[in-house]
Amino acid sequence: MHIELTDGVPVLSSSDALGAVLAASARLAVLGSWERFKICPADDCQRAFFDRSRNRSRTWCSMQVCGNREKARTFRKRTRAQNSTLATV
């Protein structure tokens, strides 16, 4: 990893993937944006994403994939519970 001057601004750069991740992490920390960097909570995803929402409430890396799957699971679980309650009445 090394420091380059770009338009008079020092920028960390690297020639390998680990150095690039470390440079990006340092930049997020310096800019005060580290809390917007999140890891998707889906067990089968393991992706990281940058939360650009106004109130920093984004949870899923992709609502079309991970968020949709979780919402569908929750709906099926809730519906199953309601159906089993109705069946016992």
Report CA 36 to chain centroid distance, whole Å. Answer: 8
Q: Model confidence over 4-34: pLDDT tens digits?
A: 888 877 778 788 888 888 888 888 888 888 8
Of 35, 56, 36, 38, nearest in space to 47 by CA: 38
As to burial, measured by CB atoms within 10 angstroms (0-12 exposed, 13-18 middle, 19+ buried), residue 60 is buried
Distances in Å between the alpha carbon of 75 and those of 22, 42, 52, 58? 39, 16, 27, 20
Q: For residue 89, what pLDDT band results from cuts at 50, 70 and 90? A: low
Tokens of 87: 């069946």
Range of the domain at 62: 2-88
Q: Report the pLDDT averaged over residues 62-86.
A: 87
Domain count, the chain: 1
